[in-house]
C-alpha cells in the first residue's frame, strides 16, 4: 500500500522557511545539507517536509512553491511501471545517491513530480542532524 510521507517546498531562504515551520508547527529538524542555503528536512513524526533552495542547479530558479511530494511504496519499479500504464507522463528516473531519501521519481499525467521510496523518509532526527544542531551551525 502506498503512503504519502514527503512534501517538498522550494524557497529562496531555506533556513528562514524551515524556522517558520519549526516555530509555528513544532516540526523537528531531521537533517540539513551542511552548505549555505542547503536543503533542510523537517518532520512532525509522520510526514517529512523538505525545504529546498530554489537557486540550485537542480531547481533552476523555480518559483517558491510546492515542488514535489513522495510516496513510500512496497516496490519502486512496480509502482513506476503501474504509473506509466495509468497515463503517467514519465517512468522512473533515478536520483543521485547523496543523502536523499527517494529511490527515484515519476511524473503524473500533468507532469507533477512524485518521488518514490521503498524505505521512506526520516521522521526522527538523524545522528548528522543531532551533531549539526549541537555544533550551533544553522545550515
Q: What's the average model confidence in pLDDT over 116-126?
A: 85
Q: Report the C-alpha gap between 15 and 35 in whole angstroms.
A: 11
Tens digits of residue pLDDT in 92-111: 888 877 767 888 999 987 78
CATH number 3.10.180.10 is the correct assignment for the domain at 3-127: yes
Tens digits of residue pLDDT in 8-60: 999 889 999 999 889 988 889 999 999 999 999 999 898 999 999 998 777 78
- Asked whether the beta carbons of 80 and 37 are under 8 A apart, the reply is no
Task: Look up residue 91 and give its three cell numbers.
Answer: 517512468
Q: Where are the domains of the chain?
A: 3-127
Q: What is the pLDDT of residue 99?
A: 66
* Confidence band of 138 (pLDDT split at 50, 70, 90): very low
Q: What is the pLDDT of residue 30?
A: 95
Q: What percent of the chain has pLDDT over 90?
A: 35
Instruction: Tally Cβ neighbours within 10 Å of residue 59.
Output: 16
Task: Look up residue 5 and give its three cell numbers.
Answer: 510521507
- How open is the CA angle 5-11-8, to the nearest 5 degrees? 10
The structure's pTM equals 0.67
Distances (CA, A) of 115 to 22, 48, 73, 128: 23, 12, 10, 23
How is 88-102 classified by DSSP, letter by letter?
-SEEEE----SS-S-
Amino acid at each position: 500500500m502506498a503512503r504519502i510521507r514527503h512534501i517538498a517546498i522550494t524557497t529562496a531562504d531555506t533556513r528562514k522557511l524551515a524556522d517558520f515551520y519549526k516555530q509555528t508547527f513544532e516540526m523537528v529538524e531531521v537533517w540539513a545539507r551542511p552548505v549555505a542555503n542547503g536543503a533542510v528536512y523537517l518532520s512532525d513524526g509522520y510526514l517529512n517536509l523538505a525545504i529546498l533552495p530554489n537557486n540550485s542547479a537542480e531547481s533552476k530558479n523555480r518559483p517558491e512553491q510546492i515542488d514535489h511530494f513522495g510516496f513510500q511504496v512496497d516496490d519502486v519499479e512496480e509502482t513506476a511501471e503501474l504509473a506509466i500504464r495509468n497515463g503517467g507522463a514519465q517512468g522512473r528516473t533515478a536520483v543521485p545517491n547523496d543523502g536523499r531519501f527517494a529511490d527515484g521519481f515519476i511524473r503524473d499525467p500533468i507532469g507533477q513530480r512524485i518521488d518514490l521510496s521503498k524505505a521512506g523518509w526520516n521522521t526522527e532526527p538523524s545522528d548528522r542532524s543531532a551533531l549539526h544542531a549541537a555544533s550551533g551551525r544553522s545550515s
